[in-house]
Amino acid sequence: MLTNWVVMPTCLPLVLRRCHTCASERFRASGKFRVNAHHKLIDAWLLVLCTGCGETAKLTLLERANVRSVRPELLDRLHANDPGLTAELLQDPVVRHRNRIALDWGDAWRLDTGGSDHLDREVIDVSVRFAARIPVRPVRLIAEGCGLPRAEVERLVTEGKVVSAVRLNSRLSGDFTFTLKR
């Protein structure tokens, strides 16, 4: 019997970037956008706030783009400060690369296992699905989902009692399955 687990975001991740004012390394997304139009060209930024001093920084989304090339629904969402758009854009690899930022998902996710009725079975087949691109080590997810220490899960992996088609010791942000034999 296949058990489904879901890795779900609980809040927006922190943005890893150096603050020019206080040298802090973390920013939180304010959820607000700044849009500036100059004739037929448009600029758009996502505003982020330093966790140390509260200084505002801008993450570039659009730079001197022709207004006609921007989808009207995107412009509406930017003007409305859509929180869903903030989450989408923070996970966009193009935006992260353009602004030279990384994301800290430390305390911004949770694992939904659907209950603990699977823990007493001899063999557990689990499908793990990610609701967002959250990089997590599968060993950590297995430990948390099964209520085991991480060292115990690593021992089970080396003994061949935890089997998966993916490497369980490296970070993943995509769906995978595994089998645990006790």
Q: What is the pLDDT of residues 84-139, one digit of tens each?
A: 999 999 989 999 999 999 999 988 999 998 876 666 778 889 999 999 889 999 99
Of 126, 37, 130, 36, the residue nearest 47 (C-alpha)? 36
CA distance 78 to 81: 5
Q: State mean pLDDT over 126-155.
A: 91
CA 153, 112, 163 angle in degrees (round to 5)? Answer: 30
Q: Give me the helix-helix angle, 138-146 and 150-158, nearest 10°.
A: 110
pLDDT of residue 65: 94
- 3-state SS class at 96: helix
Residues contacting 151, CB < 8 A, separation 6+: none
Cα 129 from Cα 138, distance rounded (Å): 11
Euclidean distance between CA atoms 110 and 81, whole angstroms: 25
Q: Determine the Cα–Cα distance for residues 150 and 136; give it in Å rounded to an integer.
A: 13
Q: Token pair 């089998």 is at which residue?
A: 179
- Amino acid identity of residue 164, one-letter, is S
Over 80: is that where the pLDDT of 54 sits? Answer: yes
